[in-house]
Amino acid sequence: MILHDFIDFATLRVIWWALLGVLLIGFALTDGFDMGTGALLPFVARTDVERRVVINTVGPVWEGNQVWFILGGGAIFAAWPPLYAVSFSGFYLAMFAVLAALILRPVGFKYRSKREGERWRRNWDRALFVGGAVPATVFGVAVGNVLQGAPFHLTPDLMSIYDGSALGKFFALLDPFSLLCGVVSMSMLLMHGAAWLGLKTEGAIAARARRYGSLAGLVAAGGYALAGLWLLVGIDGYRFVEAPSPDGPSNPLLSDVVREGTWLVAYLERPWIAVAPLMGFVGIAMAVRGLRAGRDLSTMGWSKMAILGIVSSVGLTMFPFILPSTVDPNSSLTVWDASSSHLTLFVMLGATVIFLPLILVYTAWVYRVLWGKVTEADVTEKGESLY
């Protein structure tokens, strides 16, 4: 028996769908508070010293946190090649905006303190704000477009085709529902960043962060509820006319898909997935309560629970669809027909079993070493401040 036959193709596909979710959630949990902190920078810090305190809470860890983003992109490329090709083609300018904003962040960290001038430092503070706010919003807009479906179709040789110009496709992404999802994403990560600042700072900075974080949490909860209602009454879902073979060939055109009903029918078919949105709402409620009460450590935990619930609810609601097509539903990409080969998924799983625990252990060690609050004394004493 060939080694990879010990795990059947269908199981490997589900495992890699779950692992992709783990990587994206890991990115939201870790780099999410970096982006939230950057977006909060102009509001919670009013002096140069305060801004340096805020920057130093994330400066030592942002690079390690961004590893999850790279791993997620790599997993899409290797495990779900059609998804990589279709999404990066259709969302090209949106991805460019995200990458441009993410590039501003390390440049801002490195150059901000190279000169003493107030104008110089404020301009780099604006760059750090953009580096946090733009990705946090665009990722939510992308999720909104995935839920509605993307305007592509596949040719008989499985080449993805988008109609229209690149600029037209970019503005087409900014429909009302997707913008609402962008608001949910942005406010959710603002709450997460505020929870981080409450944990890592003290005094006026922490107080302001808790105030803004509480407001952001309320916006996130309201936006998430409105998005769910919108999905119920205003957006069609997708379903198979006849269920495909879970271990069939990776060719979406062999499936028969129609667009009708609602995505939320999934909660009738698999009631257990309701735990995800429940975690989202409970996590937000408890995080807001914790921010108002000044419970720093538990608030961070509740904020993570909220993100876990909200992000996972999207994947669980859509399963087995990954990226539906509004132009030709039969071109929609699903777990059962958009993966790499059986052998490829098995080899990748072996590498993941070895290296993912090492990443988790190293990350835990880094946070253990950097545990504690950043104070104004830390950033003013020579040798203590990185930025």
Residues of the chain scoring pLDDT < 50: 1
What is the C-alpha to C-alpha distance for residues 178 and 200, in angstroms, rounded to an integer? 33
Torsion, Cα 31 32 38 41, to 10 degrees, reads: -130
Pairing between strand 152-154 and 160-162?
antiparallel
Residue 113 lies in a domain: yes
What pLDDT does 264 receive? 94
Spatial distance between the Cα atoms of 233 and 178, rounded to a whole number of angstroms: 15
Kindly list the distances between the CA atom of residue 47 and the CA atoms of 8, 112, 228, 376, in Å, as whole numbers in the listed order. 59, 14, 40, 11
What are the structure tokens assigned to 309, written together? 């619930």
Interatomic CA distance for residues 112 and 50, integer angstroms: 14
Measured CA to CA in angstroms, residue 222 lies from 141, 179, 191, 193, 305 at distances of: 17, 14, 13, 19, 17
What pLDDT does 178 receive? 95
Neighbours of 286 (CB within 10 A): 19
239/367 Cα distance (integer angstroms):
43
- Would residue 248 count as lying in a domain? yes
- Residue-number span of the structural domain to which 85 is assigned: 8-380
The pLDDT score that the predictor gives to residue 308 is 96
Query: Does the residue 277 lie in any domain?
Result: yes
Calculate the alpha carbon distances from 53 to 45, 160, 197, 283, 386 in Å.
8, 47, 10, 27, 10
Position 43 in a domain: yes
**342 lies in some domain:** yes
| Phi and psi torsions of 153, nearest 5° | -145, 160
pTM exceeds 0.95, yes or no: no
Whether 327 maps to a domain, the answer reads yes
Q: Where are the beta strands (DSSP E) in the chain?
A: 152-154, 160-162, 238-240, 257-259, 321-323, 333-334
Q: What confidence score (pLDDT) does residue 1 get?
A: 47
Q: Say what the pLDDT of residue 286 is.
A: 97
pLDDT recorded at residue 280:
97
Residue 59 neighbours by CB under 8 Å, 6+ apart: 109, 386, 387
The answer to whether residue 296 sits within a structural domain is yes
Whole-number pLDDT of residue 4: 60
CA atoms within a 13 Å half-sphere pointing along the CA-CB vector of 287: 37
Tokens of 342: 């059986």
Q: What is the DSSP string of 277-290?
A: HHHHHHHHHHHHHH
Asked if 318 and 147 count as a contact pair (C-beta separation under 8 A), the reply is yes
Q: Is residue 3 part of a domain?
A: no
What is the total count of domains within the chain? 1
Looking at residue 5, its pLDDT comes to: 66
